[in-house]
A and B are shown apart, each in its own frame.
Chain A
Amino acid sequence: MPAPDNASEPGPGRGDRTVLDARDISRALTRISHELLERNKGATDLVLLGLHTRGVPLARRIAERIAAVEGAPVAVGELDVTMYRDDLRSQPTRRAHKTALPAGGIDRKVVVLVDDVLFSGRTIRAALDALADLGRPAAVRLAVLVDRGHRQLPIRADHVGKNLPSALAERVSVRLSEIDGTDEVTIS
């Protein structure tokens, strides 16, 4: 019953079509970084939280770009939502990952959740619950590299690298050099 909300399995298969290559990904992240800065009127009080697994390197990359533009570092951390998932019971026990908040915490900050693929929206639902237990941000925004549609919950992204209309049966795979050795988004 629960659809996978994050179909970023590594390993190319037959019939893969590359939707974003390394340069497309780089341009999308640069645009998202500028959008975030414009919307937030600077990088003060901004906290980027990458969702495990591939949201973490994406958040770091966006942070680097923002730091390069603003000339000052931006707070970046990682968020694990395993304990908050609604499908824990329908699967074998999932490995939890580390949650690491930046030193200033998230209270009264503008938190930007960063993930690779927005699909059912269930991961983001879990992330919002996790945030509520960690503090009270002034606002929460969502930035994703790919929005592939098929939402099961009323959740939308504020910043999208690429809108990718897809069939439910298709598999969208995000590969990032930090984890997979290469940068690309494919659909198969």
Chain B
Amino acid sequence: MKHLLSVDDLTTDQVLELFETAADMHDVQSREVKKLPALRGRTVVNMFFEDSTRTRSSFEIAGKWLSADVINVSAKGSSTSKGESLRDTVLTVCAMGVDGLVLRHPASGAALQVSQWVDASVVNAGDGTHEHPTQALLDAYTLQRRLGSLEGRHVVIVGDLTHSRVFRSNIQCLTRLGAQVTVVAPPTLMPSGIGAWSASAGFETSYDVDAVLPHADAVMMLRVQRERMTGAFFPTAREYTVGYGLTRDRLALLGPDVPICHPGPMNRGLEIAADAADAAQSLVLEQVSSGLAIRMAVLYHLLAGESQGGMA
């Protein structure tokens, strides 16, 4: 494994192996010395051209706990704001001897493009509305820890599907692990062409969240991404909440043990009510600690072995 650009690049065995490594890494979080020497002497650059709190700090801590040197570059305050192209920026940074490049970029396909330019291992930390593989891995890992196995379990994903890279990666990861997936969104936020995709990938679509929730083994709420919305996708926020938010009333439709996930950041009161976000069955904070373990596992698998790039 040289890069992690898409969940599709991974075999099912590789996904399960990452989960097993993540389970080992999980134990590190409860140790007094939270440090493993596996990536000593390796350098990881977090290059974020979009805002992020949890993904960036999660990758940063993951790298540091594995003893890698981690450097953060964000678009604000970098040479990008002076007009440097993406290619020049990554080539410049990689010329400093970087082993791993964690990239978030607003353009779909940016990570793939960058991986063709550099010797370093590239991890896609979100490219536009395309993919966010580590988020999908951590979601599936969190659910698997809670539910035992995902085989035959019914996972419902609700929210802004059009703008969600998390959902695109999640579909691949969850169906790969045998889960039945139903995605729910208002018609305006259902991606065009989803009919053909759902038929070939084997998942269901629905516009009616109240009909689907009673049959769910797990629920994933997606964030309403106002920053990507250029048109009017729904009349008012209130109307979205009434139609598709996980309100207190809808929480009652779920069994008391049905886990609730949200990739964060949450718009409390919009797509998820505080009652649901803070419910005992909410896995939101568990997702964060799982994310750290998954990202440690990913960095370990990409960077610990013999270097496959041009540098010895």
Question: Do A83 and B32 have beta carbons less than 8 Å apart?
Answer: no
- CB-CB under 8 A from B96, the residues of chain A are none
Contact size range, B = 20 to 34
Question: Do A91 and B35 have beta carbons less than 8 Å apart?
Answer: no
A129 to B40, CA, bound (A): 14
Instruction: Give chain B's interface secondary structure class.
Output: loop
Which one of B24, B33, B306 lies within 8 Å of A96 (CB-CB)? B24
A98 to B27, CA, bound (A): 9
Question: Do A133 and B27 have beta carbons less than 8 Å apart?
Answer: no
Q: Which of B20, B306, B307 has the most CB of A within 10 A?
A: B306
Question: Do B301 and A93 have beta carbons less than 8 Å apart?
Answer: yes
Which one of A80, A83, A84, A92 lies within 8 Å of B305 (CB-CB)? A92
CB A19 to nearest CB in B, in angstroms, measures 34
Interface membership of chain B positions 22-34, coded 1 if the CB is closer than 8 angstroms to chain A and 0 otherwise: 0110010001110
**Is A89 part of the contact surface with B, judged by Cβ < 8 Å?**
yes
A41 to B87, CA, bound (A): 67
Which one of B20, B38, B306 lies within 8 Å of A83 (CB-CB)? B38
**Given A89-B307, A93-B301, does the pair A129, B37 have CB atoms closer than 8 Å?**
yes
**Is B198 part of the contact surface with A, judged by Cβ < 8 Å?**
no
A89 to B23, CA, bound (A): 22
CB A135 to nearest CB in B, in angstroms, measures 7
**Given A83-B37, A84-B37, A99-B24, does the pair A93, B305 have CB atoms closer than 8 Å?**
yes
Which one of B1, B17, B23, B31 lies within 8 Å of A134 (CB-CB)? B31
**Is A90 part of the contact surface with B, judged by Cβ < 8 Å?**
yes
A91 to B304, CA, bound (A): 9
**Is B244 part of the contact surface with A, judged by Cβ < 8 Å?**
no
**Is B237 part of the contact surface with A, judged by Cβ < 8 Å?**
no
A99 to B23, CA, bound (A): 10
A99 to B301, CA, bound (A): 18
**Is B21 part of the contact surface with A, judged by Cβ < 8 Å?**
yes
- CB-CB under 8 A from B33, the residues of chain A are 132-134
Q: Which of B23, B35, B304 has the most CB of A within 10 A?
A: B304
Question: Do B24 and A93 have beta carbons less than 8 Å apart?
Answer: no
**Is B279 part of the contact surface with A, judged by Cβ < 8 Å?**
no
**Is A23 part of the contact surface with B, judged by Cβ < 8 Å?**
no
A157 to B23, CA, bound (A): 32
- CB-CB under 8 A from A97, the residues of chain B are 24
Question: Do A83 and B301 have beta carbons less than 8 Å apart?
Answer: no
Kindly report which residue of chain A lies nearest to residue B301, judged by CB atoms.
Answer: A93
Which one of A82, A91, A95 lies within 8 Å of B306 (CB-CB)? A91
A89 to B39, CA, bound (A): 9
A90 to B300, CA, bound (A): 14
- CB-CB under 8 A from A98, the residues of chain B are 23-24, 27
Interface membership of chain B positions 294-308, coded 1 if the CB is closer than 8 angstroms to chain A and 0 otherwise: 000000110011110
CB A52 to nearest CB in B, in angstroms, measures 11
- CB-CB under 8 A from B252, the residues of chain A are none
A88 to B38, CA, bound (A): 7
Question: Do B24 and A80 have beta carbons less than 8 Å apart?
Answer: yes
**Is A94 part of the contact surface with B, judged by Cβ < 8 Å?**
yes
Kindly report which residue of chain B lies nearest to residue A87, judged by CB atoms.
Answer: B306
**Is B285 part of the contact surface with A, judged by Cβ < 8 Å?**
no
Which one of A90, A95, A135 lies within 8 Å of B17 (CB-CB)? A95
What are 22 of the A-B contact pairs (CB < 8 Å)? A82-B38, A83-B36, A83-B38, A83-B300, A84-B36, A88-B304, A88-B305, A89-B304, A90-B306, A92-B305, A92-B306, A96-B24, A96-B300, A97-B24, A98-B23, A98-B24, A99-B27, A129-B37, A133-B33, A133-B36, A134-B31, A134-B33
Which 9 pairs between the two chains have the least Cβ-Cβ distance? A93-B305, A83-B38, A83-B36, A133-B33, A92-B305, A96-B24, A88-B304, A93-B304, A93-B301
Which chain A residues have a beta carbon within 8 Å of chain B's beta carbons? 80, 82-84, 88-99, 129, 132-135
